[in-house]
Amino acid sequence: MQNVIVPINAFDRFEVLKKGQTSFIRLIADSGAFGIEIRRELLSEQDPSLDSIRQEIEQYHLFTVYSAPIELWKEDHGLNEKELIEIFQEGIELGAKWIKVSLGHFHKGQSNVCELNTFLNQHQGIQLLVENDQTLQGGIINHLTSFFESATEQDTPVKMTFDAGNWFYSGQDVDEALSKLSPFVLYLHLKQVEDDNGKFITVPLQKDGGHSWEKIMNRFPAEMMKALEFPIEPKEKTKEFVQMITERAALSCNS
């Protein structure tokens, strides 16, 4: 059951910026992962063109997700179409099947979902995903629920990336998030968040103990795509984490 994605930001940031994201492609392929998540914020002069990255990824037959740290809705609640056009063009060059962004400043009475619908219907080869981030606008359950319900009413082809750990950073209730947002989810970002003397930190997934990441994962179908978005150190442990998630998903499927 191949359904694990490895985001580049799971690896040491300084090493990624120094060596380039392409230097991790083979490692991810050898780990048994289904795909790779290229991060726009980590693209550097060490990376070749997006088209060259695509060719490298295609050599290993990896599924490609493109994560771009832009907000879908601007502060004036209008669609962020200029940046959307840019990242979709980049996504096409990269060969991405999914593009992931943050919600931004959606307001049901002022944000025109029809504009988003029109844009996405012009880019039907790519699935747009909106992730709960750690901000007061894009990480709040009610804001996200309002957006996805509005999008559903308009038959807008947008889905959710459910980040298991970001709810802690944005001060939200995970069970409420699951209850309200599960129907919209296509992609899980798995991370374990712990309280370190009053400060939240993201740590590697732990196998035992009934941790929050596993409870969340078990609330979704076993075949749902999952990303390992936590520090993988050393990077050679990637295969171990991919196998762990794959085995857990298989157990969930058989239970």
| Cα–Cα distance measured from residue 249 to residue 64, given in angstroms and rounded to the nearest whole number | 21
| Cα–Cα distance measured from residue 44 to residue 12, given in angstroms and rounded to the nearest whole number | 14
Measured from the Cβ of residue 92, the count of other Cβ atoms closer than 10 Å reads 17
| Cα–Cα distance measured from residue 112 to residue 189, given in angstroms and rounded to the nearest whole number | 28
Measured from the Cβ of residue 186, the count of other Cβ atoms closer than 10 Å reads 15
Which residue from 181, 147, 149, 146 is spatially nearest to 164, judged by alpha carbons?
181
CA dihedral 110, 113, 116, 121 (to 10 degrees): -160
Amino acid 251: pLDDT: 66
- Tens digit of pLDDT for each residue in 40-85? 999 999 999 999 999 999 999 999 999 999 999 999 999 999 999 9
- State phi, psi for 60 to the nearest 5 degrees: -105, 5
Which residue from 25, 47, 45 is spatially nearest to 36, judged by alpha carbons?
25
Helix (H, G, I), strand (E, B) or coil at 38: strand
| Cα–Cα distance measured from residue 235 to residue 222, given in angstroms and rounded to the nearest whole number | 25
Which residue from 22, 55, 56 is spatially nearest to 39, judged by alpha carbons?
22
Amino acid 252: pLDDT: 61
Query: Phi-psi category of 82—alpha, beta or left, where left has phi over 0 and alpha has psi -120 to 50?
Result: alpha
Query: Could you tell me which residues come within 8 angstroms of residue 87 by beta carbon, excluding any fewer than 6 positions away?
Result: 40, 66, 68, 70, 99, 101
Which residue from 160, 235, 183 is spatially nearest to 6, judged by alpha carbons?
235
Write the CA distances from 150 to 98, 158, 208, 220, 229, integer angstroms. Answer: 21, 11, 39, 23, 28
| H-helix or E-strand spanning residue 119 | helix 113-121
Q: Which residues of the chain have pLDDT under 70?
A: 1-2, 209, 250-255
Amino acid 143: pLDDT: 98
User: Domain 4-254: which CATH class?
Assistant: alpha beta
Q: Can you give the pTM of this predicted structure?
A: 0.95
Domain residue ranges of the chain, discontinuous segments joined by +: 4-254
Which residue from 76, 95, 78 is spatially nearest to 36, judged by alpha carbons?
95
